[in-house]
Amino acid sequence: MPNEQQQHVPTLDTSVPHTARIWNYILGGKDNFEVDREVGEQVLAAQPELAANARHGRAFLQRVVRYLAGEAGVRQFLDIGTGLPTANNTHEVAQSVAPESRIVYVDNDPLVLAHARALLTSTPEGATDYLDADLFDTDLVLRGAARTLDFSQPVAVLFMGVLGHVEADADAQAVVRALLAATASGSYFSMCDSTDGTPEVVEAARVWNESAALPYYLRSEERLARFFDGLEYVDPGLVSVTRWRPDTETSGIDQFGAVGRKP
């Protein structure tokens, strides 16, 4: 009988483009195959700045986590939609600021989870866990996360580039509301997603949706703002991710993000 690790090893189908591997290629990673690179090149042809924008999105995540672990004093993070690990992941940034930080990653992609088990670690003072769960199964997410996180204390709930994969606004908002309802006062919610602001972004999304297994749905800035209903924006509110507490001056892009605090 295979052991637990063998049971979880995914079967790779290198003939089918894989969402996480395509994004890994766009980010400049090495965990991808020719079929993923072909789709990535098609998307980049439609939106040449997407690679730079992807890096801006990762930089936004890192600035958000540094703020939350530093100025906001958060020590618990629930990161939904891990993706393939790259440099400066949530746990690395949080634990570099506060080594006792505890992080739970959630993803239901077996390839992502296989890489997470192999690559993600923790400081001795903190903890990092990985949960195989669909974001729609919020009860399972909360039960699994509670093995590592104390929901009577503030938790930062992160959705970075993930809610765009949920077509209906009501469905995506219901997931966010269910998770935040379980968190304590003083918890935080942060997200970012691409907007439908330019024809290039719309075309890139069309190409992506023709080829990738997991479609991506663009939303307007106004629709993204509804995810923060009932929360207190952290300054500067919902803005282009390059303009959220930037380290250096840079122009805005069609990817918006924010951090909100639960009263």
List of domains in the chain: 14-229+239-246 (3.40.50.150)
What's residue 118's pLDDT? 66
> CA gyration radius for the chain?
18
pLDDT above 60: residue 7:
no
How far, CA to CA in Å, does 170 sit from each of 14, 69, 218, 230?
34, 30, 15, 16
Segments in 72-168 forming alpha helices (H): 90-97, 110-119, 138-145
| One-letter identity of residue 37 | R
Confidence band (pLDDT; 50, 70, 90) for 39?
confident
Residue with tokens 């509301």: 177
- Model confidence at 2, pLDDT cuts 50, 70, 90, reads very low
Least confident of 71-75, 127-131, 210-214: 210-214
What's the pLDDT band for 52 if we cut at 50, 70, 90? confident
- Digit-coded pLDDT (tens) for 99-122: 999 999 999 877 787 777 766 789
Q: In whole angstroms, what separates CA 55 from the centre of its chain? A: 13
Overall residue count recorded for the chain in this entry: 263
* Pick from 65-74, 178-187, 198-207: least confident: 198-207
What does DSSP assign to residue 49?
Answer: T
What does the pLDDT look like over 9-28, one tens digit per residue? Answer: 445 566 777 777 887 888 88
